[in-house]
């Protein structure tokens, strides 16, 4: 009886080739031209940092045959992503932009389309958080978060839709914080929840060009930004996650790849949680 009590309540989720970023490309985005906004990543500990969602998507999409425009406000980080793509034989362009600045957003979209000779897809992987609890949510911090997390994606879609090719795809990266109040940051939770409304409207307007719009909502993912969040809120690391581990940036990237590819041609206006069931069975 004592030995049985020591057994884990579940079998931990395996980490296969895809989850580890080691699977070969299969040509699922051959010929596509995709702008990834937030394609760099935060550096917390350069020696031990895992891959972030934006970099994983950029690398994976290039492996799958796409040209990738890597946009980020951190030029050095975007360059690192592009260099890794080039080292694997892929093609990438680097753009520097602050998504909270309307003029920079418009220039980013135009430059991406010009560099790649067109635009088939956009991934909006942006998000900041500030203001712990309602007491810490000043009007200034609230506006700052929504300018990046919600207004920036709106401005990008407004600028990009006229330039995008028919049959393209737009993907918003949200969070399970849009479904349950886990971050303790009201502005972050609210902005990520509001992305669903924006996504559905973008899907409606884009329908005339057969452009699909969807959301990937990651749960607890082991990324540099995730580790930084854990430093500020240690309880994050103790969350009872189904499957017994945090996800990887590659697992988010593969969900994004599916929704950006022709395999998801009949999926539109939807939210896909990549969280091992955290939002539904915990």
Q: Catalytic positions, please?
A: 188
Measured between alpha carbons, how far is residue 246 from residues 11, 18, 147, 176 in Å?
Answer: 14, 15, 29, 13
Residues in Cβ contact with 144 at an 8 Å cutoff, skipping those fewer than 6 apart: 100, 128, 130
DSSP letter at 191 equals H
Q: Pinpoint the alpha helices (H) of the chain.
A: 2-5, 53-63, 75-87, 102-116, 139-146, 152-160, 186-206, 224-232, 249-260, 278-281
How far apart are the C-alpha atoms of 11 and 120, rounded to whole Å? 40
The C-alpha angle with vertex 247 and arms to 244 and 248, in degrees rounded to 5, equals: 140
Name the 3-class secondary structure at 236.
Answer: helix
Q: Max CA-CA distance within the chain?
A: 67
How far apart are the C-alpha atoms of 236 and 184, rounded to whole Å? 11
Given a contact cutoff of 8 angstroms between Cβ atoms, the answer to whether 244 and 8 are in contact is: yes
How far apart are the C-alpha atoms of 243 and 9, rounded to whole Å? 10
Is the Cα torsion angle 33, 34, 35, 39 positive or negative in sign? negative
Strand partners, 272: 216
């Amino acid at each position: 009886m004592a030995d049985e009590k020591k057994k884990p309540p579940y079998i931990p989720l395996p980490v296969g080739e895809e989850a580890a970023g080691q699977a070969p490309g299969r040509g699922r985005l051959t010929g596509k031209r995709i702008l990834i906004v937030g394609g760099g990543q935060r550096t917390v500990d350069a020696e031990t940092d895992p891959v972030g969602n934006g970099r994983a998507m950029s690398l994976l999409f290039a492996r799958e045959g796409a040209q990738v425009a890597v946009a980020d406000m951190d030029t050095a980080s975007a360059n690192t992503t592009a260099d890794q793509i080039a080292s694997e034989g892929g093609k990438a362009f680097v753009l520097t932009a602050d998504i909270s600045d309307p003029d920079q957003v418009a220039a980013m979209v135009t430059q991406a389309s010009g560099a790649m000779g067109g635009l088939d897809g956009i991934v909006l992987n942006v998000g900041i958080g500030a203001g712990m609890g309602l007491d810490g949510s000043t009007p200034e911090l609230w506006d700052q978060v929504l300018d990046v997390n919600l207004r920036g994606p709106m401005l990008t879609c407004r600028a990009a839709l006229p330039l995008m090719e028919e049959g393209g795809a737009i993907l918003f990266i949200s969070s399970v914080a849009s479904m349950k109040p886990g971050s303790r940051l009201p502005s972050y939770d609210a902005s990520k929840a509001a992305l669903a409304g924006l996504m559905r409207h973008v899907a409606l307007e884009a329908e005339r060009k057969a452009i699909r719009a969807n959301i990937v909502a990651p749960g607890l993912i082991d990324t540099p930004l995730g580790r930084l969040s854990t430093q500020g809120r240690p309880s994050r690391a103790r969350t009872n996650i189904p499957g017994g581990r945090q996800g990887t940036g590659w697992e988010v990237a593969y969900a994004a790849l599916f929704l950006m590819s022709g395999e998801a041609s009949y999926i539109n206006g939807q939210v896909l949680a990549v969280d091992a069931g955290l939002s539904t069975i915990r």
